[in-house]
Chains A and B, each alone.
Chain A
Amino acid sequence: MTFKERSAWIMLIALLISGAFLAKIVYSDFMAGTLDSVDFMTLLIFTVIQIALAIVGHSLIAAFNPDEVDELVDEREKKVVTKASHLSGNLFGFMVVSSLLLYLFMPVGAYLFYAILGSLIVSQIMEYALQLYFFSTTFE
């Protein structure tokens, strides 16, 4: 497994954990009918979790694989990253437009905010998942 693959795993896991935390809080507030404004503390905790997991994870893989850290990204990795980024970008665009359409029917600012934030998180999860898939399968 290359450093790039390990990095993708770290980011995927970090996003799943922090995203699950955020989704749980937002869902709870939505079901309780209290999701009428953006909770900055929740956002701060989400951000800290995401950053902390990313830093710790990358530090660990760098510590155990010091020779790979400075390796240049090779041609296959560049193609994988580009393709995954392109596809996840399409998903992000679709979800943002869907969020905007949702706002037309549910004009609550907080809903729009969390819908777009959720779109970003989901598209990033998809990007790293696609990278891992392309790394492991036949790729042209």
Chain B
Amino acid sequence: MASSIPIKNKVREMREKHGGLSQSELGKMVYVTRQTIAAIEQGRYSPSLETAFRIAKVFGVGLDDIFEWDDEEG
């Protein structure tokens, strides 16, 4: 279990761009809890590939547009 996850994400930014989608609403769309979305946004949890793709699909963008490898942490 790493002390910090080497993947940055823009989930919160994308939520706010898409009409202020709430964590709960996004969670329901990608089949995870609101708390898991919060953990993803805070960098405390790396979603599975499937969930990451679902999130990208909700926002109509590619994976690379939301998730990015952090060279400093990795």
Contact = CB atoms under 8 A, between A and B. Distances in A.
A2 B47 CA distance: 17
A139 B33 contact: no
A75 B36 contact: yes
Give the interface SS of chain B, mostly helix, strand, loop or mixed: loop
B36 A76 contact: yes
Give the interface SS of chain A, mostly helix, strand, loop or mixed: loop
A138 interface: yes
B35 A140 contact: no
A70 interface: no
Contacts of B44: 137-139
Interface of B: 1-5, 27, 31-33, 35-36, 39, 43-48, 51
Given A72-B31, A74-B27, A77-B36, 14 more contacts: A5-B35, A74-B31, A75-B32, A75-B36, A75-B48, A75-B51, A76-B32, A76-B33, A76-B35, A138-B1, A138-B4, A139-B39, A139-B44, A140-B45
